Every structure is written in structure tokens, then in C-alpha cells.
Amino acid sequence: VVLFISVNQILLFLLVLTICVILYNKVHKVPSTLNNETSKYSEPRPEEMEEEIPVVICAAAGRMGAAVAAISSIYSNTDANVLFYIVGLKNTIPHIRKWIENSKLKEIKYKTVEFNPMVLKGKIRPDASRPELLQPLNFVRYYLPLLIHKHEKVIYLDDDVIVQGDIQELYDTKLAPGHAAAFSDDCDLPSTHEMVRSVGMQNTYMGYLDYRKQTIRDLGISPSTCSFNPGVIVANMTEWKHQRITKQLEKWMQRNVEENLYSSTLGGGVATSPMLIVFHGKYSTINPLWHVRHLGWSPDARYSEHFLQEAKLLHWNGRYKPWDYPSVHNDLWENWFIPDPSGKFKMIRPNS
Ligand SMILES: *[C@@H]1O[C@H](CO)[C@@H](O)[C@H](O)[C@H]1NC(C)=O
Ligand SMILES: *[C@@H]1O[C@H](CO)[C@@H](O)[C@H](O)[C@H]1NC(C)=O
């Protein structure tokens, strides 16, 4: 019996020793990186060392499943510390909260932000051809610094996107000094070129601005200048505020109400034209694979599967949304969709 106890004690001793060695190694790693004059005095906790990535997405009534699929794709493809700012109108916020809290998305970090459409009063010209583009939430991107206070660098995404890459990469997009934002150029990718040609889409300023108007001609911007798509934005809030970008955008909305300056929403949005004017010649570019777009342009035009696999972000801009029918490549979208626990939002599929 005496022998038995001492063997047990030896085993216990060895176990304690092993734990001590493991602990020592763990603790020892930290000082080796902190052993630097500059970082000695601030020892951030691990979760604070990792920069928070703010991602702004709108959740609009009637298409809230879009925001849910986008968020779920981002969250599933990254280890980064993402904070979602989900922007809605007053009456939509409880719905999106319920959806998140009752699904696997309950693990995400998010804030809901209410957008007051009164800020747009008198700044939007009614457009009968595509009233959906006048959705107040389309203009949320103009007001980023008013919605987000804590962060300097921010990502804004349209709701009709799916992210297949690690969002950290998009966040790491470099903005040149003096640039308040980065966008994807509409002339960037050969595959996009083909798509643009095949569906007869505009990819220049001419598609967005009415060059018959003197006010537009006075801008001195060549009509053949390549446009950019503001559905994916990496923005610097310090620079945005410094250049008073929001005020400038509002001015160009206002002038459109007075003078009808923009072409009839050909390129996909009243929200685009003022941005093309305000950011002309002063924006940085986003890696084209981080904004593969026009998937919603036509129910027939398709990209090659190979190309889509390489894409980091897919954007169904255009009328043919992947939750609706007809639409293309909607399987890629459906992978990330999470059904609405309240049953209010439903995908439209043939025979459903
Ligand atoms: C100490 O930190 C500074 C600034 O972060 C860095 O440039 C330098 O290389 C570090 N030195 C060592 C020895 O790690
Ligand atoms: C944002 O802009 C400010 C002012 O130009 C600049 O000092 C800062 O480095 C920029 N930050 C990023 C992340 O680009």
C-alpha cells in the first residue's frame, strides 16, 4: 500500500511538472514580443490586439434575406474580428434582430443602426421607371461618418453580395493619401468587359450623367471616363469628414432635383451619379476579384464557373436578384442563405 501511494505521488508530481512547463511556455511567449520599448507600457488583451473590422450592410424590408446571406458569407469565411453595422429603417430592425438571434448568426458581433429617411427630404427626384432604386437605404453610404464614430477605416457593402474570400483582405486595401474611399473600376477585368459588351451595359460616365446639361459639361469630365461601382466601398472616415464628402454628395442630389442631371438610372442607381462626380479622379482601387459584378444584369448572361470560383466577392447588381426568379448563379447565393425563422421572407424559385 505504501508503495502504491508513492507511485501515485510520482505520477502526480510528473503531471504537475508537465503543466508547469506548458504554462511557462505560454507565459514566456508574451514577454518576448512585448520586450520592445514602444509596446512595453501597453499590454493589450489578446482580443484588443486584433483590429475590429467594421462592415456596414443595409437590411431593407422585403429583401432582408439578402443582408442575412451576405453577413453569413462574410462571417463563415474569416477569422477576423468583424463588427457588423446593420442599418435599417425603424420598422425593419426588430425583424432582422430576431432573424439573427434565432439562427447560427447569433454568434456574430453586430449593432443595429436606424437610418432616418427624413435626411433625404427634398433631395430625391421621383423616378417612375425603377422606384426600388429610390429606397432610402440606397443613400446610407453617403452618411457613413454619421453612422459610425468609433472607426477610421470602414467597409460598406451592398446587400446583394456574397463574400467568398477573407474580408480581412478587402479591409487591407490601401487608400492613397488624400483619398476618402476605394472602389472597383468598371473597366478593370477582361471578364467584366465581355459581360459589359454582351449585355450592352454602360461603363462610362456617359451612362450616368446627362451630357446635354451645361452643369454636367462644366464639370470638365470626359464622358468616356470609366465609371466605378459604389456597391463595395473601403472608406477612410477621417478623410471623408475632412473633405466634407457627405455635404458634397447632398449638393449633387439637390442639384439633380432642380436640374435633372442624371441619365435615366441606366447604370443602376440614382445613388451612383453623385458619387461619380464627387470622387472623380480621387479614389483608390479595389482588387477586381473583390468586386465581381453584374451577376444580376440579365437572366441569361453567365460567367464561367472557373472565374466565379476565383472571385472573392460576387455582386448581383441589376434587376435579377438571386433570391428571385429568374436569376443566374443563384446556387452560389443560396449556399449562404439562412431561412427566416418568422417565415416572412421567402426565396422565389420555380415550382415553389
Ligand atoms: C519595436 O517596435 C517598433 C515599432 O513598433 C518596431 O519598429 C521595432 O522593429 C521593434 N523592435 C523590436 C526589437 O522588435
Ligand atoms: C485616413 O486619413 C487620414 C487623413 O488623411 C490619415 O492620416 C490616415 O492615415 C488615413 N487612415 C487610413 C487607414 O488610411
Q: How would you write the pLDDT of the chain (352 residues) with one tens digit per residue?
A: 555 667 778 788 888 888 777 766 555 544 444 444 444 444 455 555 578 999 999 999 999 999 999 999 999 999 999 999 999 999 899 999 999 999 999 999 999 999 998 898 888 877 656 566 668 899 999 999 999 999 999 999 999 999 999 999 999 999 999 999 999 998 876 666 666 666 667 788 988 999 999 999 999 999 999 999 999 999 999 999 999 999 999 999 999 989 989 876 554 567 899 999 999 999 999 999 999 998 998 898 888 999 999 999 999 998 899 999 999 999 999 999 999 999 999 999 987 6
Q: For residue 34, how far is its CA from the centre of ligand 1 (angstroms)?
A: 10
Angstrom distance (rounded) from CA 105 to CA 306: 29
Instruction: Name the pairing type of β-strands 313-315 and 161-163.
Output: antiparallel
DSSP 302: -
User: For 132, which DSSP code?
Assistant: G
**Beta-bridge mates of residue 226:** 204
Q: What is the pLDDT of residue 351?
A: 75
Residue pair 53/80 in contact by the 8 Å Cβ criterion: yes
pTM for the whole structure: 0.82
Q: How many Cβ atoms are within 10 Å of 230's Cβ, its own excluded?
A: 23
Q: In a mutational test of the pocket of ligand 2, which residue from 239, 245, 284 has the highest number of ligand atoms less than 8 Å from its CB? A: 239
Ligand nearest to the CA of 37: 1
What pLDDT sits at residue 37? 43
CA 237 to CA 145: how far, in whole Å? 6
pLDDT of residue 324: 95
Burial 253-270 (b: 16+ CB within 10 A, else e): bebbeeeebbbebebbbb
CA distances from 262 to 215, 216, 217, 277, 282 (A): 11, 9, 12, 11, 21
What integer pLDDT is reported at residue 297 of this predicted model? 86
Q: Cβ(32) to ligand 1 under 6 A?
A: no
Q: Please give the distance, rounded to the nearest whole angstrom, from the Cα atom of residue 350 to the centre of ligand 1.
A: 60
pLDDT for 27: 55
Q: Which domains does the chain have, with CATH numbers?
A: 51-334 (3.90.550.10)
**What cell numbers appear for 347 in the block?**
426565396
Among residues 336, 312, 291, 332, which one has the least CA distance to residue 165? 312
Under 8 Å between Cβ of 203 and 226: yes
Give me the phi and psi of 184, to 5 degrees please: -95, 130
Element housing 161 (H / E) = strand 161-163
Q: Per-residue DSSP letters for 191-252?
A: HHHHHHHHTT---BGGGTB-TTSHHHHTTT--TTSB-EEEEEEEEEHHHHHHTTHHHHHHHH
CA of 88 to the centre of ligand 2 (A): 28
Distance 277 CA to ligand 1 centre (A): 43
- Ligand closest in space to the Cα of 152: 2
Q: How many Å separate Cα 122 from the centre of its chain? A: 27
Task: Please state, in angstroms and rounded to a whole number, the distance separating the CA atoms of residues 72 and 193.
Answer: 30
Which of 34, 35, 36 for a ligand 1 pocket mutation test, highest count of atoms within 8 Å of Cβ? 36
- CA 178 to centroid of ligand 1, rounded, Å: 27
Q: Is the CB of 243 under 6 A from ligand 2?
A: no
C-beta of 175 in contact with ligand 2 (< 6 A): yes
**Cβ-Cβ contacts under 8 Å for 260 (sequence gap 6 or more):** 125, 210, 213
